[in-house]
Chains A and B, each alone.
Chain A
Amino acid sequence: MKLQDVDVAVIGAGPAGMAAAIKAKEAGAENVVIMERAEELGGLLHQCVHNGFGLLYFNQDLTGPEYGHRFIEKVMDTGVKPLLETMVVRLTEDRQIGAVNIREGYITFKPKSIVLAMGCRERSRGALNIPGTRPAGVLTAGTAQRYVNVEGFVPGKKIVILGSGDIGMIMARRLTLEGAHVEAVVEILPYIGGLIRNEVQCLHDFEIPLFLEHTVTRIHGEERVRAVTIAKVDGRRNPIAGTERTIACDTLLLSVGLIPENELSVMAGIRLDPVTGGALVDEMRQTTVSGVFAGGNVLHVHDLVDNVSWESELAGESAAKFALEEKPQKQGEISIKAGTNIRYIVPQTISGQRDVTLYMRVTEPEEMVRIKVGDIMTKGIRAVKPSEMLKIELPAETLKKLKDGTKEIIVDCEKRGGK
């Protein structure tokens, strides 16, 4: 295969990229390449040695490496070409890719279609403005995960974790099992940021103290972290004077959110959703640039890898279709808008012609709710939380109920018995 003959180029070989590439190949695209800056396929799955992967997709409880392995084998079996240790540095509006690697230097080519699968990165200390000194020992939970699970170092002995995202809680358990002492998990919101099963199995199982409505207000230490000060926050998330307490520790882990990695998308002129931080897409996962599709955490941060795989398969299949038909598809014409207690919805536009799955998150936790999709569908749900993504299936049959010329559908999450 010559680069000039590539039908579908997938950027990123994590769970999203692998699923997209496999599906593109299966959907009939002949020449599919997967471009990855690391030296192997699989992305972050290698360092996620915990279980809980694949419960939905494979109906099995797998670890990250096990989940990744199944896709790596399939990438090889289907004849997708991996282009490893190759970093895409340029993407243009007319789908020109520029990349560098140590063998060929700078390479450039124009595939018939592209899938963006660059995933996301962690928010770091710089995004938080925590006062104090700049000692060693402040790192993101994902970096600590790489140290402990791949490189073989435990980053500290007495650890405080800021943020109760899933990676943070999983690292609390992992570090405890490796002999470190986790002094506290500190969460600014009144509820945890991750899944309930992780609160129970990572924190409660090991009696790790969880401080809700608290934040870190100061980092102490010159060369190394010596302690952190935490304080209770008010309803506007401002620290309350007089509630400070100082916890001695040598390490502060940050598990304070993930940011879709969209520098290339912006370079290509793709429009982003300010809420998700990912591209605006239609139900085929096509971005605002024709022939460029996106799936997985680069589009919106998921809590389960199973959904990343499914969504990226859709992007891969659409990219294959685009490559085969060589005609620009239109972005959907009906916008899906977030209404009451909905933070965001993906896809942002639909055609109204096909079955669609809406992926969405709520703004506030609530019990006994009803999801209303315009006036065409309602669905009761017992409980919703910002940390647990909702999936609402909208069959084409239901979409037929839309009035002709509908331009917008508002999705609300209302309390049952209210209004």
Chain B
Amino acid sequence: MALENMFICIGCPLGCEVTLTINNKGDVVGFANNKCKEGEKYVLEEYRNPVRTLTATVLTQSSSQPLLAVRTNKPILKTILVQSMTILARTRVKAPVKMGDVIVPNLLDTGADVVASSNLSSWTKNEGVVF
């Protein structure tokens, strides 16, 4: 029994709907409907290890900036994105935070850290007089 999996390749604007056929031992039997070799590479990666960078926000204890933008420092399996959000929902950060600071180390044992992707200063926003 062969199993067919469909993927849309994101390599170029064509967006080929590539069919990947897998046999019952889990081996790749073939590709169909891709217009180039790049499509096969993309589809294999999406089949074996579909990963995404998670980007989100966490709550801060600052009144002038209620949220801090965060990201994973490497892509994680797309199947655990939603579960990861429950960890972030419980996370609170205190100023000061600098871009790149680790907010949640080793998220769900993925080896990826959640890091700040913006700054959170401990002072309130400056009035900004320049001239």
Contact = CB atoms under 8 A, between A and B. Distances in A.
B67 A149 contact: yes
Interface string A372-390: 0000000000111101100
Interface in A125-172: 148-152
Contacts of B59: 152
Contacts of B52: 201, 205
A69 B99 contact: yes
Nearest to B59: A152
B130 A83 contact: yes
Given A65-B69, A196-B10, A383-B14, A82 B130 contact: yes
Given A149-B69, A205-B52, A382 B130 contact: no
A46 interface: yes
A49 B57 CA distance: 8
A174 B15 CA distance: 23
Interface residues of A, number: 45
Contacts of B78: 205
B113 to A, nearest CB: 15
Given A61-B53, A177-B85, A46 B118 contact: yes
B60 to A, nearest CB: 9
B69 A152 contact: no
A203 to B, nearest CB: 10
B125 A40 contact: yes
Given A196-B13, A383-B13, A388-B13, A150 B85 contact: no
A177 B56 contact: yes
Interface in B23-78: 35-36, 52-53, 55-57, 59, 66-67, 69-71, 78
A174 B55 CA distance: 9
B67 A150 contact: yes
B33 to A, nearest CB: 13
B131 A3 contact: yes
Contacts of B118: 46, 49, 65-66, 69
Contacts of B10: 196-197, 200-201
Instruction: Tell me the dominant secondary structure on chain B's binding face.
Output: loop
A51 B54 CA distance: 8
Contacts of B131: 1, 3, 81, 83, 104
A200 B42 CA distance: 13
A237 to B, nearest CB: 22
Contacts of A50: 55
A200 B8 contact: yes
Contacts of A150: 66-67
Interface residues of B, number: 32
B12 interface: yes
A84 interface: yes
Contacts of B1: none
A234 interface: no
A384 B15 CA distance: 11
Contact of B129 (A1, A65, A103, A387): A103
Contact of B55 (A63, A84, A197): A63
Contacts of B99: 65-66, 69
A231 B14 CA distance: 27
A174 to B, nearest CB: 8
Interface in A24-44: 39-40
Contact of B71 (A39, A63, A81, A367): A63
Contacts of B57: 49, 148-149, 152
Q: Which of B12, B13, B130 has the most CB of A within 10 A?
A: B13
Interface string A295-316: 0000000000000000000000
A104 B131 CA distance: 9
B13 to A, nearest CB: 4
A204 interface: yes
A65 B66 contact: no
A199 interface: yes
Given A81-B130, A149-B67, A382-B35, A204 B8 contact: yes
A383 B67 contact: no
B81 interface: yes
Nearest to A198: B10
Given A69-B99, A150-B66, A388-B13, 18 more contacts: A39-B125, A46-B69, A46-B118, A49-B55, A49-B57, A49-B70, A51-B53, A64-B69, A69-B119, A81-B130, A82-B128, A150-B67, A152-B67, A178-B56, A205-B81, A382-B35, A383-B15, A384-B13
In order of increasing CB-CB distance, the 9 nearest A-B pairs are A65-B118, A383-B14, A49-B69, A152-B66, A84-B128, A197-B10, A63-B117, A196-B15, A385-B13
27 contacts: A3-B131, A49-B70, A49-B71, A49-B118, A61-B53, A63-B69, A65-B69, A65-B99, A66-B118, A69-B118, A83-B131, A104-B131, A150-B67, A151-B66, A152-B59, A177-B81, A177-B85, A196-B8, A197-B10, A199-B8, A200-B10, A201-B10, A201-B52, A204-B8, A367-B14, A382-B12, A383-B15
